[in-house]
Structure 1
Amino acid sequence: MAAAWSKLLDQRRPAVVAGTVALIYAWSYFRFLRKQKRSRELAAAALVFDKKDAKKEKAHVDREFFRQLGSLLKVVIPGVFTPEFGYMLLVASSLIGRTLCDIWLIRNGTIIERAIISRNTSLFRETLQAFIFTMPMLSMVNNLLKYGLSELRLRFRSRLHHALYKEYLSGITYYRMSNLDNRIANPDQLLTQDVEKFCGCLTDLYSNLSKPLLDIVLYVRWLSVAIGQEAPGAMLLYLLFAGVILTRMRRPVGRMTIEEQKLEGELRYVNSRLITNSEEIAFYQGNERERRTLDNSFRRLVQHLRDFLEYRFTLGIVDDIVAKYLATVVGYLLISRPFMAGQRMQLDHNLRLEEYYKSGRMLVKLAESVGRVVLAGREMTRLAGFTARVSQLRHVLHDLARGHYVRSMLAVPAEESSEASGDTTKPRRRMELVPGAGRMITRDNVIRFQNVPLVTPNGDVLVDDLSIEVRSGVNVLVCGPNGCGKSSLFRILGELWPMFGGTLVKPAKEKLFYIPV
């Protein structure tokens, strides 16, 4: 009875394991969907950034991704005769050397095991000595590959860093991004952490794709000679099938990566704002309010990271099954056919064992390479998120350099705007931001405003039509209540704010000197 019960348990064990795994997967997936629905229903208060008009950014591995990536590659690899291209060749050479070393290790290991089984002492000593003498070269190839990847990542980051900061610190672009344009809420996050992660993902993807693809080419060549072209062809078809399935499942990764970096940047901004305004916060005893702001920002980040972690857990289960274990099963099925129903059935047992071991190891390596190519799509989806972020930064920098600004106008009623300004008789108008609407003329010894409206970047009209002339040697006192346009006049005079119309005649910027009070 005990033996029968044990046999019954052995028969049901695979079904129990499979059912348990399926239940865990279904529970994780539906829990993730429930949290996503809850996060959409809970409208988190935007305490730092105004996200009312913000569009939901998406990042997928599509034509737009490859266009953006190609544009960034021209920055990090400006030409063929550059150190970056040289290190890419070094990494490629190291990958080829490592693959050849793997093939040599398979052959040498097969000969060593055959010598042990056949008790061939001389052959065993010869192959073992060859392995010992080859160890320094194997170690050098592995570490040369690591060095090349690290140096390539550093050079990519240096190129992109210098290119972005050259545009960011060109003229007053940095001021325009923070004060006139609201498309980039946290440029410090983009210029530092996002650039670093983009270069790291790009380098890792280069290694994780080139090595398996090279392995596939070499192993397909060797296996086609050894066991025919049917098995390698079937593995490549499986690669296409698995890639299509997993690519569809990984689509949310790019969007979630963008959201993660945005929340990280928001948390960094809140901390830096606390340091910058520490005196005012301490004077007004606003520590509790700032603590709530920090806690809320951190809570949103943690919630998103936890959702992302659970999604990656669910996706990782499918990735491992499809890209690793199922690929190995396909490999075993393909390698078994020539030995169970082919010409190799007539071979001697030892020769058949050696042929199976050598071909089987290569086919397993091919299956692993196919799995790594499939899993590299996960890194490519994550790279799409960082590519979209860095490309958006470059696009905004180019717009600001041309004088094009994008700013969301606050929808404030006219009555509320007039009450806030203290003028209840005349509602404050708003003007659309049209860069280049005014005309600026450079002339010495005179400052002349001719029909120039004083307008904030947000569109609030402070002065409808200002006309004034100040010649050299004349003293003028500008006074008035808060919000009447005193500082705005000097911001327009200093070319910080754009002109909405009229004509401004002034000396060149280098001939004007302002004394702060």
Structure 2
Amino acid sequence: MDWGAELAWLGKVVTDKLRTERPTAAALGLSLATVMLASATAEKGIVGGEKTKQEKAAEKAAPTSSPTTATDASPTGPAMSKKEADRRAAAKVRVRVDKAFVKNFFKLLRIAFPKMRSQQGLHLVALSLLLLVRTALSLKIAQMAGMLAKRMVEAKPWPFYSAVIVLALWSVPASLCNSGIKYVTALLQVAFRRNLTQHFHGRYLTQEAFFRCVGLGSVDHVDQRMTEDIQRWSDDAASLYSSIFKPIVDIVLFSHQVAKFGGYKAPGLIIAWYGLVTVLMRLLAPPFAAMTNQQQRMEGDFRGGHTHLLSYAEEVVMSQGEVNQRSTLNRLFHAALRQANAISFTRARHAIFDGLLVKYGSVMVGYAVCAISNFSAEASKLNSGELTGLYLHTSRLLTDLAKAIGALILTYKTVAGIAGYTHRICELDKSIAAIEKAASRARRQASSSSPTTAPDSAAASPSSAFASSQNGTVVVGDTVEFEQVPIVSPDSTVLIEALSFFVRPGMNLLIVGPNGCGKSSTFRLLGELWPLQGGRITKPSYEHLYYVPQRPYMSSGSLRDQIVYPDRFSELTNVSESRLYDCLAAAGLEDILDRPGISWDAKLNWSGDALSHGEKQKLAMARLFFHKPRFAILDECSSAVDVDVEQKLYQACFDRGITLLTIAHRRSVWQYHNWTLAFDGNGGYMFSPLKFTDAGDLHLTKVVFASDEAMIGKAVVRTNAGAQVLVQ
């Protein structure tokens, strides 16, 4: 309510009436004060009418994004997997404001606000003081409003003008206080977000947790949880303190002030009414948190479909799949639209009860409260001016009291919104905690089963032995060796029952076989990306084992940063430009520095169009040459480069003493290897030294390990047609 406009209008009407009907001035003032109380009680649409700030916060509650990708949502997609079924079941978990929420909320709050003796503690103390000052100023302004009305009714111009000036002076500290409250609250929001984000970054971006969360999908849409959900939780949690603390202080102080003019019946009646409203609203309220949760999940499906489409724009256009994608996106959009319409209808239906209970019910309570003060013994002794001032003062206090109680009631809606974010962030926390627990158990198992390890075991990844979270063991050594290791995917698909092979320095291993036979799966186990179900894996520490994929990751930063990745050039010492240039030259990429706009310090969109796919593969090999590990895993790493460049890349690996474990379908690569691990696609394999026949066939000279023990010690030729011929 605009109190200045209301008071000006009140003054004009009262002054006019005083000229003709002075005896009725007190009654007029009383009536106007009552109307103002009733209007202000319903001000800001406690639930009816315009949405309040708390309602808007609750409307954003619990953004649970899609547990499925755009391809998963396709009506022609494969049967639902167990992982997908688990995701959809998790999406149906109802978000409630209950004991579990309180426990999880305070768990996150301890991370966001670790101790009172901190910067956040100072912010909280400052915010508390500002809120107390704001309440005191509200009391003073209410008193001045009554004084203005009194001066009007008394028709004393100069005292009235002086009161206006005093009120204007009081508005200065009130404005400063309001601004200070917003500023300190914003500081708390930023601090909460910083602490939470740094905490989860530290746990999430580790060797043991990152791929399990993202690559294996143990929790959906980690990016949204780490960014948007944490930000919204921080904003709402920091604002929650003000939403609770100030109304409570207001209720206590305003009730005490109102009681001076008619006892505690008036505030008691207001509190009792809103208590009844709270109970009824709680009983009648639909599950807005769960409904909004579902809506945000569908919105996530729709957004995920667009994100997926952007990632494969060229492929979709070349395959003329626009119509198919349009149909899929329209279906996802209409599903989200139907849910939004359902929520709007439910909200409108609920607003009927809100209007009856709060808006119009408050008018009736306002009349009753004013009547209590009107008929008090103290009021009967006052003249018309004093009576008008008294009732305008008390009505303002009652209005503020009603606002405070209403704000406290509506805090429940804000809490319902926070419950959604808390649920999603704690899902991420529980997922990471389970991974950390499995890693810790695996390390203990590895330590007990292998009391002696290689001297460089301390340099291993912090997830060393993580892959042994089931029944297997990973130890650090000077070689790569699999001993009776089952190749089992996370969805329990058995690819190989028991795989055994070894790679020692100087042995360049070629891994061949049809798609889906277990080639890349073997590397995932070696990289500890999949849980190990049994057997034993020996591997060098991570600084001596480097992976070069078919689609290399291009980080942000300068050209120097691209070459030294995953290190940062600014954190390295004694790295000269000549060394970096030698790495580029060995990869056949030295001419990149001759291009316009490219220099050592150039920060381009390296993952975009700054380099072709083949040049990105060369840059990934330059990284390999910079780090010079003992072993390198090459997964189709030269598929986009010319054959002559490919020969140069492999020769550079030999010159640097790097032992290779290679997956490659291009036969031009095979000649650079002297051992092979050949999969047949039916769960079988053979491991043997390698030669090439004049026809270009693979000659396994003497099988060392095989799924069929009868083949051990035999010589086998794998023809270009895929057949295996036993050599007598």
Supply the AA of the counterpart residue of 2:634: I
Counterpart-to-counterpart distance in 1, 2:173 and 2:381: 39
**Which residue is equivalent to 2:414?**
379
Supply the AA of the counterpart residue of 1:111: M
Q: 2:472·2:532 contact (CA, 8 Å) conserved in 1?
A: yes
**Which residue is equivalent to 2:528?**
495
Compute the displacement of 1:500 (Å). 0.4
Cα deviation code 1:481-507 (max 9, x no counterpart): 222211111111121111100111222
> What TM-score results when the alignment is normalised by the length of structure 2?
0.58
Q: 2:150·2:388 contact (CA, 8 Å) conserved in 1?
A: no
Counterpart-to-counterpart distance in 1, 2:323 and 2:237: 42
Q: Structure 2, unaligned stretches of length 5 or more?
A: 1-69, 75-79, 440-466, 547-632, 638-728
Supply the AA of the counterpart residue of 1:152: L
Larger mean Cα displacement after TM superposition, 162-171 or 312-321: 312-321
Q: 1:57 aligns with which of 93, 115, 120?
A: 93
The answer as to 2:196 corresponding to 1:170 is no
Within a 5 Å distance, the mapping from 1:58-457 to structure 2 comes to 58-182=94-218, 184-250=219-285, 252-340=287-375, 342=377, 344-403=379-438, 435-444=469-478, 446-457=479-490
Shift in alpha-carbon separation, 1:307–1:178, aligned structure 2, 3 A: same
Find the structure with the greater CA-based Rg. 2
What's the % identity of the aligned pairs? 27
Q: 2:481·2:500 contact (CA, 8 Å) conserved in 1?
A: yes
Shift in alpha-carbon separation, 1:85–1:246, aligned structure 2, 3 A: farther
Q: Secondary structure at the match of 2:483?
A: strand
Compute the displacement of 1:456 (Å). 1.0
Compute the displacement of 1:228 (Å). 0.8
Cα deviation code 1:384-415 (max 9, x no counterpart): 112111111211122223338xxxxxxxxxxx
Supply the AA of the counterpart residue of 1:178: V
Shift in alpha-carbon separation, 1:227–1:382, aligned structure 2, 3 A: same
Q: 1:454·1:463 contact (CA, 8 Å) conserved in 2?
A: yes
The answer as to 2:491 corresponding to 1:458 is yes
Q: 1:453·1:465 contact (CA, 8 Å) conserved in 2?
A: yes
Compute the displacement of 1:122 (Å). 4.1
Supply the AA of the counterpart residue of 1:109: A
Counterpart-to-counterpart distance in 2, 1:455 and 1:81: 50
- Aligned-residue CA RMSD in angstroms? 2.7
Q: 1:253·1:382 contact (CA, 8 Å) conserved in 2?
A: no
Within a 5 Å distance, the mapping from 1:470-509 to structure 2 comes to 470-509=503-542
Shift in alpha-carbon separation, 1:249–1:234, aligned structure 2, 3 A: same
Q: 2:111·2:199 contact (CA, 8 Å) conserved in 1?
A: yes
Larger mean Cα displacement after TM superposition, 238-247 or 101-110: 238-247
Q: Secondary structure at the match of 1:227?
A: coil
Compute the displacement of 1:73 (Å). 0.8
Q: Structure 1, unaligned stretches of length 5 or more?
A: 1-43, 405-432
Counterpart-to-counterpart distance in 2, 1:169 and 1:248: 44
Q: 2:261·2:373 contact (CA, 8 Å) conserved in 1?
A: no
Counterpart-to-counterpart distance in 2, 1:341 and 1:473: 102
Q: 1:328·1:364 contact (CA, 8 Å) conserved in 2?
A: no
Compute the displacement of 1:127 (Å). 1.8
Cα deviation code 1:416-468 (max 9, x no counterpart): xxxxxxxxxxxxxxxxx993310112111x22211110111111101011122
Equivalenced residues, count: 446
Shift in alpha-carbon separation, 1:312–1:250, aligned structure 2, 3 A: same
Compute the displacement of 1:66 (Å). 0.9
> What TM-score results when the alignment is normalised by the length of structure 1?
0.80
Q: Secondary structure at the match of 2:85?
A: coil
Counterpart-to-counterpart distance in 1, 2:266 and 2:513: 85
Supply the AA of the counterpart residue of 2:229: D
Supply the AA of the counterpart residue of 2:223: D
**Which residue is equivalent to 1:427?**
none
Counterpart-to-counterpart distance in 2, 1:45 and 1:465: 33
Q: Secondary structure at the match of 2:117?
A: coil
Q: 1:323·1:372 contact (CA, 8 Å) conserved in 2?
A: no
Counterpart-to-counterpart distance in 1, 2:223 and 2:210: 11
Q: 2:266·2:373 contact (CA, 8 Å) conserved in 1?
A: no
**Which residue is equivalent to 2:73?**
47
**Which residue is equivalent to 1:35?**
none
Counterpart-to-counterpart distance in 2, 1:366 and 1:300: 43
Compute the displacement of 1:126 (Å). 2.9
Counterpart-to-counterpart distance in 2, 1:312 and 1:149: 29
Compute the displacement of 1:71 (Å). 0.8
Larger mean Cα displacement after TM superposition, 216-225 or 249-258: 249-258
Q: Comparing both chains, which one has the higher relative contact order based on Cα–Cα distances under 8 Å and sequence gaps of 6 or more? A: 1
**Which residue is equivalent to 2:634?**
515
Compute the displacement of 1:200 (Å). 2.6
Supply the AA of the counterpart residue of 2:498: D
Supply the AA of the counterpart residue of 2:503: V
